[in-house]
Amino acid sequence: MSGRESSSQKSLRRYPGFRAVALMCLFLLYVPILVVAIYSFNDIRSITTWGGFSLKWYAKAFSNPQIQSATWNSLVIAVSAATIATCVATAAAMGMTRGRRFRGQGGVFAVISIPLMIPEIVTAVASLAFFLAIGFTLGLHTILIAHTVFCIPFAYLPIAARMQGIEKAFDEAAKDLYAGRWRAFRYVLLPMMTPAIISGYMLAFIISLDDFIITSLVAGPGSTTLPLAIYGLVRVGFSPEINAISTLLLLVSMIFVSASYLVSRIGRSN
């Protein structure tokens, strides 16, 4: 990293208007969600005028039994899918990054990243067709399976990135000091990777919690998740209740992503 440069050197790198575009970019990214968040506290149903601060839409959303059950479904699926995906991804990252490169490694990586490369709508209809073809009835379990598969690369990438950063010397040092394969993993590698694993878990959790397209196709009747419930409400008409739930989901995502980011930073500085 270059340290302090003189201001004339720096100004040579500047382009007029780039700062304005960057600020506009942030503005563009945040204004819509901020507007939604602000209106979720509007006391009156109108979306054009401000009727004072109120939490009544939140209260209304919380007391809606459909939203309650959808929230519960979403949480159960997100926790389960993220847990399975993280375990599987951690094992895969171990296999991929510890030890020498092997023939077909690129192929294995390609398979793991397939869920990221294929358009989500294709994943969604393919899962639907497959579940029905093998005689599954649609329901929470089909959502869980589809989410788990879709979450694997999201958990894998941060974990593998961290694991690549752990030199094999740590592994060797543990073995040199009389730890067998399992104890070297348990006492040295795993603690060193914990931040990345938490980070991967949280990302997988968010991806599952937020997914709409795949869920909407593989969900059976009655197995509604939160995004599906919101979509259903929008079909009926725009209500401030939607703003309230959206704001809450928004908050959950931001908290999780920030936490995931902070944890992985801690892991790296260690």
177-236 residues near another protein, rule: CB under 8 A: 177-180, 183-184, 187-188, 191-192, 199, 203, 206, 209-210, 212-213, 217, 227, 230-231, 234
Q: Three-state secondary structure along 220-239? A: CCCCCCHHHHHHHHHHHCCC
Of 6, 7, 21, 52, the one binding another protein (CB under 8 A) is 21
In the block, tokens 């878990």 appear at 201
Q: How many CB atoms lie within 10 A of CB 224?
A: 24
Alpha-carbon distances of 231 from 141, 245, 258, rounded to whole Å? 21, 11, 26
Q: Is 1 in the site for another protein (CB under 8 A)?
A: yes
Restricted to residues 151-180, the positions that interact with another protein (CB under 8 A) are 152-154, 156-158, 160-161, 164-165, 167-170, 172-180
- Residue (53 or 102) nearer to another protein, CB: 102
Least distance CB 69 / another protein (angstroms): 18
Residues with Cβ within 8 Å of residue 63, at least 6 apart in sequence: none
Restricted to residues 49-78, the positions that interact with another protein (CB under 8 A) are none
Q: How many CB atoms lie within 10 A of CB 136?
A: 16
Least distance CB 37 / another protein (angstroms): 9
Residue 75 amino acid letter = L
Of 7, 117, 135, 236, the one binding another protein (CB under 8 A) is 117
Q: How many CB atoms lie within 10 A of CB 60?
A: 15
- Residue (62 or 130) nearer to another protein, CB: 130
